Structure 1
Amino acid sequence: MSPKDLLLALVVVVAWGINFVVIKVGLHGVPPMLLGALRFLLAAFPAVFFVKRPQLPWRWLFAYGATISFGQFAFLFSAMYVGMPAGLASLVLQAQAFFTLIFAMFFLHERFRAQNALGLLIAAGGLAVIALQGGHEMTAAGFALTLCAAVSWALGNIVTKKVGKVNLVGLVVWASLIPPLPFLALSYALEGPQRIAAALAGIGAMSIFAVVYLAFIATLLGYGLWSRLLSRYPASQVAPFSLLVPIVGLASAAVLLDEHLTGAQIVGAALVMFGLVVNVFGGWVVQRLVPTR
């Protein structure tokens, strides 16, 4: 990978890692369902004028928008609103990698290899430690909702695999047309018209910054650069950079939000990260250690 593209990969990692801190900041002034609606209304704006619609049937755009865009962030925003720390959210959400493997085995008939199983068991142990010894800052509801967000992301990954090669930026932008209406409907039903009106009337600079960051930096810039890297290099060379996202998420939450992990959370986080590393690099290690005939 060239130095320029390596720098772009790190830009994506930082943008996605800090994203969790920004969500927490945005939720201080805007309730979760309304924040989701504003994010995707803004992210969908380029679809009208600047980005060509990918050559896909609308059912696939709907499926992607309903899973990765709406489902993932409806659960994630709710989780962080009810007590999931930003740093731990960035880590627990990476369980999507293992849910994706499980769904791919059932829906796409892909093989579940030994390193995948080992990585899943290690990471599941880490998640169990975090869940059982979460500390006073993390709620059980927040943890469970974050896992639901990971499941939604994984289902979206299966949709992405089903549609095959497609312009990822176009897919993300046009799929952003799907979430605003269900987000607004849930906001009206759960948060109420009075709270919506009060949040919009009293929206502050930090909340506006959060919405703009989530729409343009985390969504459009992040996926735009990521798709550029995937178009230039093998997925096996690009995907490992995603392992750095929870590291940035945990570090930025500690610095910017003063979030601190308990001893048990540190152990759990280390196990989850080790499980992810085994899942990504386990096959490569086996190939190097076991000679082929």
Structure 2
Amino acid sequence: MQGRDLLLIIIVMVIWGINFTAIKMGASEFDPFVITAIRFFLASFPLVFFIKRPPVSVRYFIAYGTVFGTGVWGMGACAIAFGLSAGMEAILIQLDVLTSVLVGALVYKETITKRMAAGMMIAMLGLTVSIIYTNGNITAAGLFFIAICAICWPLASIIIRQSGTTTPFAFTVWGMAFAPIPLIGLSLLMHGTQGLVSTFTHWNGNAWFSVLFQAYPTTIFGYWIWNKMTLKYPMAILAPTTLMTTVFGLIGGYVIYGEQLSSVQWVSCALFLLGIIVVIYPKKRAADSLTLKPEQAV
């Protein structure tokens, strides 16, 4: 990999790691659905007026906006709002690697090798120990929402594949334009107008930083660089680099919020990530099956 490209990838991983802290700044103070809706509104408008709409049915944009916007990041914001720390979310979101493998096996009849199965068991063991020895950085509700997030990752990828688009970045931008609608709908369903009123009444610097960081450095810049890299390098090389987000996510949570893992959690989280690496690395074919993830970048 060229030195300049490696530097760009590291910059994106730093941004994606800090993004979990940015999510916490918004979701811990305001309605997580409203904050996430504003993120996607800012990320898609006015870009949709300058990026040509991919020639696919509108139903794919609606489906992607719902699954990616609400199922992935709406639930991710809820996980933090319900007690999951930013650092632990940066780690546990790697569950999407496991759910992607399972969906690949169920939907596309891809083979789960013995090594991949072993990696999944190692990861789940590490996750279980982290939950048992939590110091308050993992809650039952937070774990529930992050599990939904992990399940929706591969589903969003299936939508992209089924759409048949040849311009994934443009598809993502147009799909995100439909994300705010179900998010605001969920906010109204759960809180009436209170979520909207409270968010805009108490809007502050943390809210601005949260939505602007998520919309532009994380989404627009991150997607643009990552998509360029996927055209130049195989996923066997790129996929493992996403694990750097966990490191920078932990650093961001510690620096901004003083978040820490328990002693046992440091070991168990390392075990969890080791299992993820084993799943990613079996062979090039297996790694290529994870090419879905870039389009769902944080």
TM-score under structure 2 normalisation?
0.90
Partner of 1:209 in structure 2? 209
Partner of 1:2 in structure 2? 2
Matched, 1:261 2:245: no
Query: 1:121 touches 1:275 (CA, 8 Å); kept in 2?
Result: yes
Instruction: Give the Cα–Cα distance (whole angstroms) in 1 for the partners of residues 100 and 161 of structure 2.
Output: 10
Residue 201 of structure 1: CA displacement?
2.6
The 1:37–1:242 alpha-carbon spacing in structure 2 relative to 1, beyond 3 Å, is same
Q: Deviations over 1:209-255 (max 9, x none)?
A: 21111111111111111001001111222111111111111122112
Matched, 1:252 2:252: yes
Equivalent AA in structure 1 for residue 194 of structure 2 = Q
Instruction: Give the Cα–Cα distance (whole angstroms) in 2 for the partners of residues 12 and 51 of structure 1.
Output: 22
Count of aligned pairs:
284
The 1:117–1:165 alpha-carbon spacing in structure 2 relative to 1, beyond 3 Å, is farther
Instruction: Give the Cα–Cα distance (whole angstroms) in 2 for the partners of residues 120 and 245 of structure 1.
Output: 20
Instruction: Give the Cα–Cα distance (whole angstroms) in 2 for the partners of residues 10 and 55 of structure 1.
Output: 33
Residue pairs, 1:101-250, within 5 angstroms:
101-163=101-163, 166-250=166-250
Partner of 1:45 in structure 2? 45
Instruction: Give the Cα–Cα distance (whole angstroms) in 2 for the partners of residues 165 and 47 of structure 1.
Output: 18
Query: 2:28 touches 2:80 (CA, 8 Å); kept in 1?
Result: no
**Could you say what secondary structure the match of 1:51 adopts?**
coil
Matched, 1:75 2:75: yes
The 1:189–1:277 alpha-carbon spacing in structure 2 relative to 1, beyond 3 Å, is same
Structure 2: segments with no counterpart, 5+ residues: 285-298
Residue 118 of structure 1: CA displacement?
1.3
Query: 1:87 touches 1:250 (CA, 8 Å); kept in 2?
Result: yes
Q: Tell me whether 52-61 or 99-108 shows the greater mean CA deviation.
A: 52-61
Q: Deviations over 1:95-130 (max 9, x none)?
A: 001101101111111111222111111111111112
Equivalent AA in structure 2 for residue 31 of structure 1 = D
TM-score under structure 1 normalisation?
0.91
Q: Deviations over 1:24-80 (max 9, x none)?
A: 111243210111111111112034322122232223223322222221112111110
Query: 2:30 touches 2:198 (CA, 8 Å); kept in 1?
Result: no
- Asked which structure has the greater CA Rg, the reply is 1
Query: 1:169 touches 1:220 (CA, 8 Å); kept in 2?
Result: no
**Aligned Cα root-mean-square deviation (Å):** 1.6
Query: 1:168 touches 1:224 (CA, 8 Å); kept in 2?
Result: no
**Could you say what secondary structure the match of 1:53 adopts?**
coil
**Could you say what secondary structure the match of 1:242 adopts?**
helix
Query: 1:168 touches 1:223 (CA, 8 Å); kept in 2?
Result: no
Residue 171 of structure 1: CA displacement?
1.8
Q: Tell me whether 3-12 or 48-57 shows the greater mean CA deviation.
A: 48-57
Q: Tell me whether 125-134 or 161-170 shows the greater mean CA deviation.
A: 161-170
Q: Tell me whether 259-268 or 93-102 shows the greater mean CA deviation.
A: 259-268
Aligned identity (percent) is: 31
Structure 1: segments with no counterpart, 5+ residues: 285-293
**Could you say what secondary structure the match of 2:93 adopts?**
helix
Residue 22 of structure 1: CA displacement?
0.4
Query: 1:33 touches 1:186 (CA, 8 Å); kept in 2?
Result: yes
Q: Tell me whether 90-99 or 126-135 shows the greater mean CA deviation.
A: 126-135
The 1:190–1:142 alpha-carbon spacing in structure 2 relative to 1, beyond 3 Å, is same
Partner of 2:20 in structure 1? 20
**Could you say what secondary structure the match of 1:282 adopts?**
coil
Query: 2:69 touches 2:180 (CA, 8 Å); kept in 1?
Result: no
Q: Deviations over 1:115-169 (max 9, x none)?
A: 2111111111111112222222321111121111111112212333444563232
Instruction: Give the Cα–Cα distance (whole angstroms) in 2 for the partners of residues 66 and 202 of structure 1.
Output: 27
**Could you say what secondary structure the match of 1:275 adopts?**
helix
Equivalent AA in structure 1 for residue 75 of structure 2 = F
